[in-house]
Chains A and B, each alone.
Chain A
Amino acid sequence: MTRHSKQILLGGVAVAAVATAVAFGTSSGSAQPFSDTDPATAPIPAYDYDDPARSFVVQADFTADHATVTDVTVGMGRSRSHLGDPAQLELRLRDAGDQVLQRIDSRDPRWVLQETAGGGEQQVVRPGPGILVTPFDADAESMVVFDNDAGQVLTTVDLAPAIRDYCLDHPDDAQCVEADLAVQSTTATGDTFSVVGATTPLHVATTVANLGPDGPVDATVTEQVSVPQGVTVTPADGTWHAAGLAVGTPQEHSSTYDVTCTEPGSHTVTVTSTIAADRAKVADPVAGNDTGTTQLTIDCAVPVALDVKPGTDPNPVNVREAIIPMAVLTTSAGERGLPVAFDATRIRAASVRIGNRADLVGSNAGVPESHGRVHLEDVDRDGDTDGVLHAAGRQIPVTTSTTELCVRGTTSDGLSFFGCDHVVVVP
C-alpha cells in the first residue's frame, strides 16, 4: 500500500490528512491544497464567469427500464463533477461513428434516499423526471445511458441537434468549427423530349464550396429530384460526400437519374441540392446558400403507330424517292402495344415533321408534310380514320444507312406525338 507523506494544509492548519497514520489517495504532484496562510500573499478569488467549459444537459422521464428524453441542451456552465458519483449509471459519450469517447459514472436520478419514520434513511427507486449533466464535448454526438444495475441501456440520446444549435449560436467556441458551406451551382441536363413509357437519363451536376473561415470539413450533399404527375424518377434522391471540403477548393459531382414519362404533356422536373456538414459541431452561419435548385422540362409525347408505305412490308424506300407516303394510325390504348390512345384526325398538319429519330427528338428537325395537310382515310381498315402523310424523301434525306423513319408533331389539343417505322433502303 502506498503511503503518501504529503500533508494537507487546511484552513492554515498544518495537519496530517487524518490524525491516525493514514495513507491518502491524494493525487501526486499537485500543489498542496489550501496551503495559504498569509493574507498578504494569498490569492483573492476572481469570478470565473468567463470559464469556457460547457455541459450537456439531458432531461428525461425515467421508468424502470427506459428513459424518454424530453429535452437536450448545451448548458452554458461547466458540468458538475462526477468524481464522487456512484456508478449507478454509465453515461457513454460517443462520436458520430458510435465510438465511445468518454465513460462517466453517474448517479441514477431514480435513486432517492428517503428519510424513514425512525430516523435514518432508506434508498428507494422512484421513477420520474431526472436530469443528467456531463461535460460538453463537441465531438460527442450521442449519449448512451446505461443502467449498470440492470445491465441495460435506458436510452440513447441524440446530442447532435443541441450541439448544432449551440455552435451556431457560439461559433467562436474553441470546440466549434465555423464554415460557410455553399452550393455554388446545380445543373440538370437531358432529353427534353420523350414519349410516354420511355425512360431518359437526367444528368445532375452540383458544385459545392466551403466559403470559410474554417476548414477543411466533411460534408454531405443531398440531391432531391421532385417530379409532377406524369413522370417518375428513379432514384428520387441521392447523396454524395464532399470529403475534406477546403476553403477555396470547390468540389463538383455528377449524378444520373432515370426519368420515365407516364402521361403525355409537358412536365417540369426540379432538382434541389443541399449541403450539410457531417459533424454537428460545424456551424454554417449562412443557411441561405446551402441549397441550389434547377429545373428541366420534358415534353412527353404520345407514342403512335407509324406505317411507312402502308400495304408494303418491309417498307422499301429509295434514296432518290421524291415522296414517301406514311400513315399515323388511330389507335386505342393498348392497341399495337401502345399505352395511350391516339386520334390521328387531331394531328395539326403544320406541326408535322418527318425525319430520323435523333434529329426529331433532339431538335424537332425534319421535313414538313409535303402538302401541308393530313389526308384522312382508314388505312388499316380497322374502322377508324387514320392520317396519311407525305414526306419529301430526298430532303429528309433518306440515305443508304437509313433504317427507320419517324414522325413528330402535335395534336389540336396540344399534345405531342411521336412514332417510327422500319424501312429498307433499296437501290
Chain B
Amino acid sequence: MAPPTHHPTSRHRLLRSCLLLLLAGSTLTVALGTSPAHGVNPTNVRVVVERVEERGCTDTFDGSDFYSRITIDGHATDFGEIEDEDEISPNWVAEQSVDADVTTSVPVVVKISDSDGFLNFSDDECDLTAGPGNDLHLTVDLAAVAGCTVSGDVSGACDSTFTTTGGGDESVFVRFRVEVDQDPVTQPPDKTVVRCLQSPLWPQPGDDVTITAEALDPALHVGDTVQDTSTGAGPPLVDRTVTADRLEIWVDDKSGPDQVVNTAKTATYTIHNVAAGDLVYSCKAVVGDHESFTGWRRMRVGAPASGSAIPVLMTGGRANRVDIVLVPDGDDYTGPGDAAFETAAANVIKGAYFGEGYFLERQQGFNFWIADKTGDSEVPKAGGGVDCSPQGPSDWATAYTWADTGAILHANNFRDCASNGLFTSEPTSLGTVLHETGHAPFGLTDEYCCDGGYWENRPNPTLFDTQAECQADAPSLGRVAGDCRSITDTRPDPDKTWWTSEPTPNDLMNGDRTPPQAGDMRRIDWYLSECLDGKC
C-alpha cells in the first residue's frame, strides 16, 4: 500500500549505465573496487557476467570447469573455476574506476576458459564471439552524446543485457551487462555498513549457497540498490557501494573468516552442496578504524527443524527480535519453494529492510522467516476485480502467534491493504513494505493528511492530540515548537486534529522511498531496545 506520491527526495543520484543483471551466483567472485575516488571525474565501469552455457568449449564428459578474466582499461580481474557445471550463473563482477575527463573510451576484454586438467591437454579458451578470435572485445564510450554506449563484438546502450555465442566449435553462450557509474558516490571516509545475504534465500540440500557481502554507504535509501515500484517505475538505481579496507565472510564457526577480501566493495563466498540442516554465517566490513558487522545469522537448508515457519535469516530468539514473516500469495506462487517467490522475498529483504541505511544498521534486530504455506492477498469483488483482504496461511492463527508482522507478497497489481499485523505488497513495492512495517509492529502513525491511520502512539509518540504536547516534545527531537504542524482527520468521526513535528513529505510515514526521521527513529529504537529486554 502506497503512501501519497511525492517527488523523490533530492538525492545525489548516480547516472547509471550499463551492465549485468545481478543474479544468483555461485563460486567465489570478487568485484574489485577502485581505490577511493581520485580522478577529477571519477567513473566506475563495471562488467557482470551472469550466465555462461557450454556450446562445445568443453571436451570432457564430467561437466565444464569455467573460469574467467575480465580486463577493464587494462586492469584484469581473475575469477576462479567453477567445477563440473556446463551451465553456470557465476555473477562475476569486475569493476574499474577511470577518470572520464581523461578516458572517454574504455576497452573491455572478457575471456572465459574451461580448465581441462593435465590429462586433457591444455585448457580450452572458449569462443565468445561470432567473428574471428575467441575473447569478447568491447569499447565503452563514456562520452557519447546519446549516452553511454557499448560497441565491439556486441553493441548497444549501457544498462542493457547482452548475449553472445561463439561461432566456432569451442564456443559458449554468455549473458552479461555493463554498468557505468558516472559521478560515483563520494565515499564517506570512515563509515560503511555491511549488507550480506545468501542466495538462494532458502536452499535445499545439495544446492550451492553463495553469500554476498557488500560495503555500503550508510546514506543508502530504498530504491537505491533494488528497483522500487511503490509509486510508478521509481527513480534510477544509485551505486551506494563503497570500498572497504577489508570484507570478511565467516561461515559455520568463529574460528576465523572463510573469505577475506581487501580493498573491495563486495565479496562472495560459496558453500557447495550444502547438507540439510542449518547454515550460520556473518559478514564484516572494515574501513579504517570503523567496523560494521551483520551479526551472526542462522538460515535453514531444507525443511524447518520445527514448526511451520522457515527461518531464512535468524539473528536471535523471537522474544528479542522483530520477526517478519514473508508469505507467498497462493494465486501467484506455488509455495515457499517457488523460485519466483524466493526471488521476491529476497528482493524485499535486500531492497526494503536492508535497502534503507537506518534499518540496515539495525539488521541485528530482525528475524526473517518465510511461511511454509501460501496465503492470499485478495478476494473477488462483486462486479469484478478484487478487494484486498490479507489472509495468512491456514495455520496463521496458531502457528505464527509470535509473528510481529506478516507480508503477503503477490505478483498482480491491485490496491494493497494492511490489517491486524498483516499487509499485502508486490515484492517490488519496497517503500510500501517499509512504510507498513512502520505501522506494524513499530506503531508509527501516518504523517500525512487527512484520512490515514492516526493515534497518539505513546510512548515516544510521533503524533500528539494537542499542539502543546507536540511543542513540548519537539526539542527532544532536535526541533523547535514551530516545527509542529497539524493534521486534521477530515472524516466525520472522529474529525480530529493531530500534531506532529515530523517533516513533510520527506518521512517514512509520509511518502514512499523516504527515510525515517527523528520521531520515527526514536520510536523504533525504543521498540528495539525493548526487544533486547525480551519484550518482543
Contact = CB atoms under 8 A, between A and B. Distances in A.
Contacts of A117: 415
B2 A115 contact: yes
Contact of B441 (A18, A22, A59, A80): A80
Contacts of A403: none
Contact of B295 (A34, A51, A71, A119): A34
A81 B248 contact: no
Contacts of B417: 112-115, 121
Interface string A1-33: 101000010111101011011111111001101
B254 to A, nearest CB: 5
Given A11-B362, A44-B298, A59-B397, A114 B1 contact: yes
Interface string B237-271: 00000000000101000101100000000000000
Contacts of B10: none
B453 A73 contact: no
Contacts of A109: 419-420
A53 interface: yes
A201 interface: no
Interface stretch (B50-58, B91-99, B177-185, B312-320): B312-320
Interface in A102-153: 107-109, 111-123, 126, 130-131, 133, 149
Contacts of A120: 2-5, 448, 452
Interface string A41-52: 111111111010
B284 interface: yes
Contacts of B494: 149
A44 B401 contact: no
Contact of A17 (B257, B475, B522, B530): B522
Interface string B341-369: 00000000000000000001111110000
A91 interface: no
A85 interface: yes
B302 interface: no
Nearest to A30: B533
A115 B1 contact: yes
Contact of A75 (B315, B401, B418): B401
B307 interface: yes
B536 interface: yes
A115 B526 contact: no
Contacts, number: 279
B446 A121 contact: yes
Interface in B416-432: 416-421, 423
Interface string B428-469: 000000001001111111101001111101011000000000
Interface stretch (B16-24, B30-38, B286-294): B286-294
Contacts of B528: 8, 33-34
Interface in A61-93: 71, 73, 75-81, 83-88
A47 B315 CA distance: 10
* Chain A interface, >50% SS class: loop
Interface centre among A39, A46, A115 (most CB of B within 10 A): A39
A85 B522 contact: no
B122 interface: no
A20 B457 contact: no
B120 interface: no
A81 B536 contact: yes
B291 A33 contact: no
A24 B526 contact: yes
B415 A116 contact: yes
A30 B521 CA distance: 18
Contacts of A38: 293
A333 interface: no
A77 B529 contact: no
Interface of B: 1-5, 191, 193-194, 218, 231, 248, 250, 254, 256-257, 280, 282, 284, 290-298, 305-307, 311, 314-319, 323, 360-365, 388, 396-404, 415-421, 423, 436, 439-446, 448, 451-455, 457, 459-460, 472-473, 475-478, 494, 518, 521-523, 525-533, 535-536
3 A-B pairs with the lowest CB-CB distances in the bound complex, closest first: A84-B443, A20-B478, A12-B293
27 contacts: A8-B529, A18-B525, A24-B460, A24-B529, A25-B459, A27-B529, A27-B533, A30-B529, A37-B284, A39-B257, A39-B296, A41-B254, A43-B316, A44-B296, A77-B402, A80-B401, A80-B403, A84-B441, A85-B443, A86-B453, A113-B452, A114-B415, A115-B388, A118-B4, A120-B4, A121-B3, A126-B419
